[in-house]
Structure 1
């Protein structure tokens, strides 16, 4: 029981800490850790089985909070002090997770060659986002409206839920990335509260969409996820 809690808690720490690192997708981390689908089911079906889902979500959420506040600074140091080593470790984890993902899909659905089309399409989208990120400049401001920060949080949730989609890119496009980093490091609540409100609303919306697709097009959706997951390698590699 305690061992299981600590394992899930440590997963939460990694997800939380990874959420503030440039180029790291929380969705990809969930895929690598093998909890992506289970996490979506637990959030959306929380009131169906409160006790069971709470036991799973509490260590994940509490670990993520601690990961952001405490261990995030440690991982940020490692990320910037040893960027090449850190990124190659993460690339290795991504590549190592792909065979398991394919095996999981094959347990529920027979492989069909056309599934690879979904992988190549999502991989192409991920590569396009990398190119887009390299061409934009960071815009920053010290003042944002409450509504704008809610919208920013909603948009950011796409990068949290969809593997391989960079939250960093989304925040850069909206011009709030630098303020986001400052607010996380200083726990600046006037910025973080509306951002988190939007993030929560957006996460529920994108999880519902993902859940719908997994229920009706399981294999196709997972091959899209595999493409985005592979695409996250291209997010990291240009920065090595």
Structure 2
């Protein structure tokens, strides 16, 4: 394995691990680490240079898989401790911390119909997801033809969170009501129940990458405003019980830490883009 692939594996470990945290977008993290464009191009234009793209994607997927298992084990452990509620507040703060970046990417100059309508579409998407029967996409619920099709459909939905910057795949899993189940299966290395969802996600990535790439390129403001609405709509879903006493203090500190971490990473990405423009 050459040096480039080793670096890709290490970046994959970090991106895959942080994807298990609701509020942390894998796409945004890939942007921060400078490999988002390469990932999108490698998928959408795979057959232009299949050998090179396959090598890159294999290294990334290997790293991402290792990162997801390691981080999911740690998060699963925290869910069983008194850190459970502060951890959920950290997730809440992380989602809120990504809002300024998405708003900036949308480039809203004045309040008009689109600035209100597009976020409303994102919020409506969350409402529609909540109307789905609880446990519909639960991994391991069955392997009959109907259940497999449902799992594949769930994977297609999850793919949007994997591809779009700003939307966290773990946040998407929360919306579908399967976050803790997925984390539990990953941490215990129970991979078989996750295979149908995984196939759906891979198919969704292949189907949606080019479409989403064009949307961001040709209609960035509507796209990012819809993402913003989705993020706002997901906040109540992430909100845990209201703690009391010293737990409230820890929870508020955790929320502030989550906000600061995501806001700081988004700011770093913005600075990287400015430096790239200056070099051009």
Q: Output the CA distance in 1 between the equivalents of 2:103 and 2:48.
A: 29
RMSD, matched Cα: 3.8
Q: Which residue pairs with 1:45 in the alignment?
A: 45
Q: Output the CA distance in 2 between the equivalents of 1:63 and 1:111.
A: 42
Q: Which residue pairs with 2:154 in the alignment?
A: 155
Preserved contact between residue 12 and residue 63 of structure 1 (Cα < 8 Å): yes
Q: Output the CA distance in 2 between the equivalents of 1:53 and 1:201.
A: 17
Gaps of 5+ in 2: 162-166, 243-280
Show CA shifts across 1:86-106 (max 9, x none): 122222222222222233343
Deviation at 1:62, TM superposition (A): 2.2
Q: Which residue pairs with 2:270 in the alignment?
A: none
Show CA shifts across 1:156-214 (max 9, x none): 33134243673355476xxxx96x6775434353x444442232112322334323422
Gaps of 5+ in 1: 19-23
TM-score normalised by L of structure 1: 0.69
Counterparts in 2 of 1:76-225, with a 5 A limit? 76-81=76-81, 82-106=83-107, 113-116=112-115, 117-127=117-127, 129-130=129-130, 132=131, 136-138=133-135, 143-145=142-144, 148-162=147-161, 163=167, 166-170=172-176, 184=186, 185-189=188-192, 191-225=193-227
Deviation at 1:229, TM superposition (A): 2.2
Deviation at 1:52, TM superposition (A): 7.4
Q: Which moved more, 1:200-209 or 1:109-118?
A: 109-118
Structure 2 residue 14 is the aligned partner of structure 1 residue 10: yes
Q: Output the CA distance in 2 between the equivalents of 1:68 and 1:7.
A: 12
Preserved contact between residue 157 and residue 204 of structure 2 (Cα < 8 Å): yes
Pairs aligned (count): 221
Q: Which residue pairs with 1:21 in the alignment?
A: none
TM-score normalised by L of structure 2: 0.61
Q: Output the CA distance in 1 between the equivalents of 2:228 and 2:59.
A: 26
Q: Which moved more, 1:191-200 or 1:55-64?
A: 55-64
Residues 98, 49 of structure 1: alpha-carbon distance in 2 compared, 3 angstrom cutoff: farther
Q: Output the CA distance in 1 between the equivalents of 2:228 and 2:207.
A: 21
Residues 183, 92 of structure 1: alpha-carbon distance in 2 compared, 3 angstrom cutoff: closer
Q: Output the CA distance in 2 between the equivalents of 1:221 and 1:201.
A: 21
